Homo-oligomer: A and B are copies of this chain.
Amino acid sequence: MIWRSVAELRQAVAAWHRDGLRVALVPTMGALHEGHLALVRRGFALADRVIASVFVNPTQFGPTEDFSAYPRREAEDSAMLAEVGAHGLYMPTADEMYPAGFSTTITVGGVSEGLCGAARPGHFAGVATVVAKLLLQARPDVALFGQKDYQQLQVIRRMVRDLDLGVQIEGVPTVREADGLAMSSRNAYLTPSERAIAPGLYRTLTAMAGRLSAGAAADEQEAWGREQLQSSGFSAVDYLELRDADSLQRLDRLDRPGRLLVAARLGRARLIDNVAVVTK
């Protein structure tokens, strides 16, 4: 079932709710891969009906970013979702999401600062606003997001709490290729030689995480990691930082559950990844 309008979407979800069914939403920007399907599968464990949305949201791309180039594969996305057993797909038009005169923005302070928030001004306001809209349009009981976009996940958690959206937010572990590369629609931008370099991102994170867990200083490890990435072929490291796993505040050393987050450039791709850093 494909819905193009808020009205159709709401009607379907309201009918399920009247029948006492629990509904899960998996918001995506399409170009689906195993990471997205893992969200749908996890949705089946948490709800009776699982729907996905596909919307390449213009407001979360900066003026020099890859909005036009971002892969769009509507027919394949739809087929993959049907195959995995999703109960519906919401594919709104840009006009349905942002009608004439649209002028409201949701900003989340704190967790959106630094990291991708510094590298991509306005990005998280775009994300927060479109996710709030999708949650209010669909009114699911639970919504699922990948931990691969960890800062985004924390921004959404904070917003949902702050605005009393009353939806359970479920973060799902990152799905990786056999060599450790986090699955991402943007991996399609990589040439074969860049693809061979890319797994170094995750290898560097896991090496650092082990030493940070053992008590190493963050600045020393971050310098080591940057050097590793640049010498292996990444052209720039936007950030590589140890942060508090919940508040995303900077940690000098692991004294509570942490998250190590990275963004680095490889050819025309900007890859992000992150791992948990656990206290011993």
Listed in ascending order, the chain A residues whose CB lies under 8 Å from chain B are: 6, 10, 99, 101-111, 128-129, 132-133, 136-137, 158-159, 161-166, 247
Query: Which of B103, B162, B166 is in CB contact (< 8 Å) with A158?
Result: B103
Contacts of A159 in B (CB 8 A): 104
- Chain B positions within 8 Å of A132 at CB level: 163
Contact A136/B164 with A105-B106, A106-B105 known, Cβ cut-off 8 Å = yes
Report yes or no: A104 in contact with B163, Cβ–Cβ below 8 A.
yes
A202 to chain B: closest CB distance in Å?
30
Flag if B107 contacts A104 (CB, 8 Å): yes
Q: Establish whether residues A101 and B163, one from each chain, have CB atoms under 8 Å apart when the complex forms.
A: no
Bound complex: CA of A128 vs CA of B163, how far in Å? 11
A6 to B163, CA, bound (A): 12
Across the interface, do A166 and B105 meet the contact criterion of CB distance under 8 Å? no
Question: Are the C-beta atoms of B164 and A6 separated by less than 8 Å?
Answer: yes
Q: How far is the CB of A103 from chain B (nearest CB, A)?
A: 4
Other A-B contacts than A101-B110, A129-B163, 17 sampled, CB-CB below 8 A, are A10-B166, A99-B161, A101-B158, A101-B247, A103-B109, A103-B111, A103-B162, A104-B128, A104-B159, A104-B162, A104-B163, A105-B108, A106-B163, A133-B162, A136-B163, A136-B164, A136-B165
Q: What is the bound-complex CA distance between A136 and B161, given in angstroms?
A: 11
B133 with A163: CB separation less than 8 A: yes
Q: How far is the CA of A104 from the CA of B124 in the complex (A)?
A: 12
Please give me the residue from chain B that is nearest to A112 by CB atom.
Answer: B103
Report the separation of the CA atoms of residues A99 and B164 in the bound assembly, to the nearest whole angstrom.
11
User: How close is A31's CB to chain B, nearest CB, in angstroms?
Assistant: 25
Contact of A105 among B109, B161, B247 (CB under 8 A): B109
Q: Measured between C-beta atoms, what is the minimum distance from A99 to chain B in Å?
A: 8
Contacts of A101 in B (CB 8 A): 110, 158, 247
Q: Which residue of chain B is the closest to A166 with respect to CB atoms?
A: B136
Q: A163-B133, A163-B136, A164-B137 are in contact. Are A107 and B105 (CB under 8 A)?
A: yes
Residues of B within 8 A of A129 (CB): 163
A166 to B9, CA, bound (A): 13
Give bound CA distance, A136 to B10, whole Å: 17
Determine the residue in chain B with the shortest Cβ distance to A160: B104
Question: What's the Cα separation between A164 and B104 when bound, in Å?
Answer: 11
A158 to B100, CA, bound (A): 11
